Amino acid sequence: SAVISQKPSRDICQRGTSLTIQCQVDSQVTMMFWYRQQPGQSLTLIATANQGSEATYESGFVIDKFPISRPNLTFSTLTVSNLSPEDSSIYLCSGNSGTGGNEQYFGPGTRLTVT
Amino acid sequence: AQSVTQPDIHITVSEGASLELRCNYSYGATPYLFWYVQSPGQGLQLLLKYFSGDTLVQGIKGFEAEFKRSQSSFNLRKPSVHWSDAAEYFCAVGPYNTDKLIFGTGTRLQVFP
């Protein structure tokens, strides 16, 4: 199984600023995913990131607010722009296992607090 | 629309007791099915998965789940709960025609000594 790390593990940011979250996988994965988990809630998919192409965003999420980079098969970044308190959440990245069946491995998450 | 329902928001059990967490899905065909666990402050760990074949699947940490097509269910079970099992449990489905996962709302498990 793939091991996924995220940086930072947590951050406190001021309103109006941006935070970039890094996701590193210890092996190559075809697809990477970014999720938001609001306090006490389930996971909501923000976007799917493939190498060499634009990320595909889910309904309600836009590139201007959540730009994503995927420069290679082991790394991706998510930026949360123009922060507001409503962006306070845990952000998780995942990668597909490559064994089929939509199986994904998850990073530990980044806890963002916006003040 | 595809959906996953976990009817129990919060379950409390005594250590050593048996456990069953419910999961129902709504989808036109049998999707891939998963159970993940999230300990406080941690990411998600895959407990088990069902793709096809035997409808009773074994996972890590002594968990098992049974797929019942007639009930569109994929309930998670453990015969004897340990205090370390206290966590949030998420059921997820993976529709055949996408690479995505759709998560249920989660069940928080509390274990009393």
Q: Is the pLDDT of residue B47 over 80?
A: yes
Contact list, A4 vs chain B (CB under 8 Å): 43
Query: Could you give the CA distance from residue A21 to residue B15 in angstroms, rounded to a whole number?
Result: 38
More confident residue, B97 or B35: B35
Q: Is A60 helix (H, G, I), strand (E, B) or coil?
A: coil
Contact in structure between B100 and A33 (CB atoms under 8 Å): yes
| Nearest residue of chain A to residue B96 (CA atoms) | A101
CA atoms within 13 Å, Cβ hemisphere of B89: 31
Please give the sequence-ordered ranges of beta strands (E in DSSP) within chain A, or none if there are none: 4-7, 10-13, 19-25, 31-37, 43-50, 56-57, 68-72, 75-80, 89-96, 104-106, 110-114
Query: Nearest CA to CA, how far is A108 from chain B (Å)?
Result: 4
The answer to whether residue B36 scores a pLDDT higher than 90 is: yes
What distance, in Å, lies between the first and last C-alpha atoms of chain A? Answer: 37
Contact call for B42 and A41, based on CB within 8 A: no
A91 → chain B, closest CA residue: B43
CB A44 within 8 A of CB A36: yes
| pLDDT at residue B41, rounded to an integer | 80
- The residue ranking higher by pLDDT, A17 or A96, is A17
In chain B, the percentage of residues whose pLDDT exceeds 90 is 77
Q: Could you tell me which chain A residue has the CA closest to the CA of B49?
A: A103
* Tokens standing for residue A52: 């060499």
What is the mean predicted confidence (pLDDT) over A61-82? 96
Rounded distance between C-alpha atoms, residue B16 and residue A96, angstroms: 35
Inform me whether the C-beta atom of residue A109 falls under 8 Å from chain B C-beta atoms: yes
> Quick one: how far is CA B99 from the chain centroid?
19
Place B83 in a pLDDT band, splitting at 50, 70 and 90.
very high
Is A2's pLDDT higher than 90?
A: no
Q: What digits encode the pLDDT tens for the residues B1-26? A: 678 999 999 999 999 999 999 999 98
Give residue-wise pLDDT tens across range A20-43: 999 999 998 889 999 999 988 899
CB-based contact (8 Å) between A57 and chain B? no
Average pLDDT over residues B103-108: 95
Q: How many CB pairs under 8 A join A and B?
A: 53
Q: What is the pLDDT of residue A100?
A: 67
**A82-107 per-position pLDDT tens digit:** 999 999 999 999 998 776 678 899 99
Chain B residues contacting A, CB < 8 Å? 32, 34, 36, 41-46, 49, 51, 90, 94-95, 98-101, 103-106
Which residues on adjacent β-strands are paired with residue B102? B93
Alpha helices (H) in A20-98, listed in sequence order:
none
What's the average model confidence in pLDDT over A39-59?
91
How far does A24 lie from chain B, in Å, by closest CA?
Answer: 14
- pLDDT of A54 reads 86
pLDDT of residue A103: 87
Closest Cα in chain A to B99: A102
| Mean pLDDT lowest among A92-101, B71-80, B102-111 | A92-101
Please report the pLDDT score of residue B93 as a whole number.
92
Average pLDDT across chain B, whole number: 92
What pLDDT, on the 0 to 100 scale, is given for residue A13?
98
Which strands form A75-80's sheet, in the order they lie side by side?
A: A4-7, A19-25, A75-80, A68-72
Mean pLDDT of chain A: 93
Of the candidates B11, B6, B18, which has an alpha carbon nearest to the alpha carbon of residue B78?
B18
User: Read out DSSP for B42-68?
Assistant: --EEEEEEE-SS-SEEE-GGG-EEEEE
DSSP alpha helices (H): ranges in A25-75?
none
**DSSP 8-state symbol, B72:** T
| Contact assignment for A102 to B32 by CB distance below 8 Å | yes
